[in-house]
Amino acid sequence: MSPARRAAVAANKPPHLRAVLWDLDGTLTDSVRLVVDTMNFVIAAHGGPPLPYEKVGELTGHPLDAMFRLAWPDIGAADVDRYRVEYRTRYDAVAIPATRLYRGARTTLRDFHAAGLLQATVTGKRAADCERILRGLGIRKDIDVYLGGDSAPRPKPAPDLARHAMSRLGVAPEESVVIGDSAADLAMGRAAGAHTIQVLWGFARAPLPDAERSVRTWRELRGAVLALGGPKPGILDCRGPLRS
């Protein structure tokens, strides 16, 4: 085959997947309920009405301000700042120690890392909190870049955080996949030009419109990543089935 022909064939091949951008709550960690309980603890301390799980869960990944405004639509900036500090203090003391990885998350992270995929977090949490949580759960070398809600100018569903992760990893949008459980995760990924995969073990239990693919198990997730032109199947299939 001539060099020109090889170049033409290469140009027509779909881009090779190089990076996985992970949401945290409801995707890697079983922690959506912890977010809801912490929010309601702070709201109750100030006489506000408890918020339904569904309402808070929909906003997981958004700034805390949006959640406080569900309870108090006219809340002032000073109160938001004060309640945010109370939320983080409570979350650090109670929720972080109780946070656990979903079964299958650790092995998948390690398999993707061993297969040569770059990995970053794109969570609504502060980047330092995300790193502390995952490192505390034994995830050290598998995540290349820890990014959070304080890493980009606009929160999800704006594309800023995903684009920043791509820039840090040195990959193009078409070489990336955003994996998350909420509408905000998937809308962010789609707006950033990335592939999107929804996991159905987190907050949203039905397929969402911005998901290219929805999966119910970690084994399905591996297959979905492989279908995007990721690592060779033998690398990720060597450990057998993974269950959520």
What is the per-residue pLDDT across 31-66, written as a single tens digit (0 to 9) for each? 999 999 999 999 999 999 999 999 888 887 788 998
Give the three-state DSSP class for 116: coil
Tokens of 236: 């990720």
The secondary structure of residue 15, as a DSSP letter, is P
**Full DSSP string of 124-191:** SS-HHHHHHHHHHTT--SS-SEEE-TTSSSS-TTSSHHHHHHHHHHT--GGGEEEEESSHHHHHHHHH
**What pTM value is reported for the model?**
0.88
**CA–CA separation, 106 vs 217, rounded Å?**
14
Neighbours of 3 (CB within 10 A): 7
| Strand order through the sheet with 213-215 | 145-147, 118-122, 19-22, 176-180, 195-199, 213-215
Instruction: Please give the distance of CA 143 from its chain centroid, rounded to a whole number.
Output: 12
Do 32-98 and 16-30+102-237 fall under one CATH topology?
A: no
Q: Are 219 and 244 in contact (CB under 8 A)?
A: no
- Distant-in-sequence, close-in-space partners of 172: CB < 8 Å, separation ≥ 6: 15, 166
Q: Among 1.10.150, 1.25.40, 1.10.3470, 1.10.1760, what is the CATH number of 32-98?
A: 1.10.150
**CA–CA separation, 220 vs 199, rounded Å?**
9
Q: How many helices (H) and strands (E) does the chain have?
A: 12, 6
Domain spans of the chain, in order of start:
16-30+102-237, 32-98
Tens of each residue's pLDDT in the chain, 244 residues? 555 554 443 445 567 899 999 999 999 999 999 999 999 999 999 999 999 999 888 887 788 998 999 999 999 999 999 999 999 999 999 999 999 999 999 999 999 999 999 999 999 999 999 999 999 999 988 999 999 999 999 999 999 999 999 999 999 999 999 999 999 999 999 999 999 999 999 999 999 999 999 999 999 999 999 889 766 555 555 443 333 3
Query: Is the alpha carbon torsion for 231, 233, 237, 238 positive or negative?
Result: negative
Distances (CA, A) of 43 to 32, 39, 75: 17, 6, 12
Q: Report the topology of domain 16-30+102-237.
A: Rossmann fold (3.40.50)
